Amino acid sequence: MDNLMAGRQAGRQAGRQAGRQTEVSLVIPVYNQEKYLSACLDSIFRNNHSESFEVICVNDGSTDCSGDILQRYVKKHHNLIVIEQSNQGVSAARNHGIEAAHGRYIWFVDSDDLIRSGCLDKMIKILRCNDAESM
């Protein structure tokens, strides 16, 4: 967990130094989703090029390989935060994700969801143009 926290802090510091602000925090509760998790994360990171988002995955005590998958992704993506907790349910996982979020907006994504190509980039552009208070 210390390595994940250090990675998270380094990523935030790099973002601040580059003058980037986190617009959107995607909060993803994860519980035994090894079948779908990589596809979900790939759909976010491959198809969205904005640097103004973070992904917060809360591993809710998974007993499958979900934790290993998250560790692989956190090494590749500076804007991925992984929180480990004992199994407390999806609501507690989302709440812990909210507590860790730095984005102006929060988007709940399920670990078996796929995000359409460019969706996040487009959403951030619309939010900025309209100075929206919520999405």
pLDDT in tens, 17-74: 445 688 999 999 999 999 999 999 999 998 777 778 999 999 999 999 999 999 999 9
- Can you give the CATH number for the domain in which 70 is found? 3.90.550.10
Decide if 107 is inside a domain: yes
Which H/E stretch holds residue 83?
Answer: strand 80-85
Looking at residue 48, its pLDDT comes to 75
**128 Cβ contact partners less than 8 Å away, ≥ 6 residues apart:** 23
72-100 pLDDT, tens digit each: 999 999 999 999 999 999 999 999 999 99
**61 Cβ contact partners less than 8 Å away, ≥ 6 residues apart:** 31, 85, 86, 87, 88
53-60 and 24-30 strand pairing = parallel
**Structure tokens given for 54:** 């973070």
Q: Identify residue 121 by its one-letter amino acid code.
A: D
Asked if pLDDT for residue 13 goes beyond 70, the answer is no
Decide if 86 is inside a domain: yes
**What residue numbers bound the domain in which 9 lies?**
2-130
Asked if pLDDT for residue 134 goes beyond 70, the answer is no
User: How many domains would you assign to the chain?
Assistant: 1
Helix axes 37-47, 119-130, angle to 10 degrees: 50
Asked if pLDDT for residue 106 goes beyond 80, the answer is yes
